[in-house]
Homo-oligomer: A and B are copies of this chain.
Amino acid sequence: MRKDKILLGHGSGGRLMHNLIKDLLLKKLDNLVLKELSDSAVINYKERLCFTTDSYVVNPLKFPGGDIGKLSVCGSINDLVMLGAKPEFLSLALIIEEGFEYRALENIIDSISLTARKNGVNFVTGDIKVVEKGACDKIFINTSGIGRIIKNKKLSVKNIAPQDKIIITGNIAQHGFAVLTKRKELDLGFNIKSDCAALTGLIIPVLKKTNAIKFMRDPTRGGIATTLNEIAEAARLGIIIEEKAIPISQKVRAASELLGIDPLYVANEGSALLVVSSKVAKKVVALLRRHPLGRNAKIIGEVVREPKGQVILNTVLGTQRIVDMLTNEPLPRIC
């Protein structure tokens, strides 16, 4: 890949973005916290804090199950929760295109406000920029967040070991398909609803009840395929996934067949991948299922010693295939 232009794939969460981060950002902005390449940073003050940032450029601004406002709160909340932090404070930075409807902005702020209140986070600082018509597409939102780490035990890929189980907390690929079908105005004869949700209520209680969770990440851009690859690479272990175990709604299955898009690569915004020790995996699933967001939680695979850094899928047909990271962007601006 020639390095002269930024491609859409550089923002896909997949291989190209990884290279951009490694080749440019890590090289130039190197420090120990950043090197962890997590979606959030853990900062050692007297209390351990977690710090995260995310920009939201989703198109369209509204989709079944959410809008850019809800997404921009849930997304940053989830990045904190994935590091075992209770989200507390958020910032809100708006970049708005001149001529954007005031009423539409109001609806977005309503959605932000509602989602924040529901999930016990406060917006404590913010910024507004307005750019000329044509200089941005309607509205972009950045939220950064601070949370308080609730456990001393550090969630880290270093804790992952062979035989650990992989849990997904909900049906996959709902968000990406919701945005895609809305954007393209595809008439599938049914609506797919995004899973867009804040995971605080699902995850934090389970984290408090057990020490079994070793690592968590929410499979957003690039889908579970990309996130599992990140985990396998970072842990220098393999991951085997059972296709038949992966929870997937009838609608997403139908849409993925109709459109020829592999749901393993499609974004989620309200599900998490958990790596847990095998002994208590079933107990963790049972705990997760008590919560409405976790009622489809399932063990979908396990960690193996070899092949290091790779993800293998046992298909429903009984074959095996290597599942690589997303390399090209099939669907930009899904978050």
Contacts and interface: CB of A to CB of B under 8 A. Distances in A.
A99 interface: yes
A89 interface: yes
Given A103-B4, A131-B11, A142-B93, A109 B29 contact: yes
Contacts of A6: 96-102, 105, 130
B126 A136 contact: no
Contacts of A93: 53-55, 142, 144
Copies in the complex: 2
A124 B31 contact: yes
Nearest to A56: B129
A4 B101 contact: yes
Interface string A1-22: 0011111111110000100110
A57 interface: yes
B29 A91 contact: no
A324 interface: no
B7 A41 contact: no
B4 A102 contact: yes
A95 B109 CA distance: 21
A34 B52 CA distance: 19
A128 interface: yes
A198 interface: no
Nearest to A33: B124
A202 B197 CA distance: 44
A101 to B, nearest CB: 7
B128 A11 contact: yes
Contacts of A54: 93, 127
Interface in A234-291: none
A45 B34 CA distance: 23
A112 interface: yes
A106 to B, nearest CB: 6
B8 A130 contact: yes
Contact of A124 (B43, B97, B148): B43
A17 B130 CA distance: 10
Contact of A136 (B33, B92, B137): B137
Contact of A109 (B25, B47, B89): B25
Nearest to A50: B125
Contacts of A137: 131, 134-136
Interface string A46-66: 110101111111010000000
25 contacts: A5-B100, A6-B99, A6-B102, A6-B130, A7-B98, A10-B96, A11-B129, A11-B130, A17-B128, A21-B126, A34-B124, A34-B125, A39-B125, A45-B49, A49-B146, A55-B93, A57-B135, A95-B140, A129-B140, A129-B333, A129-B335, A131-B332, A132-B333, A136-B140, A146-B146
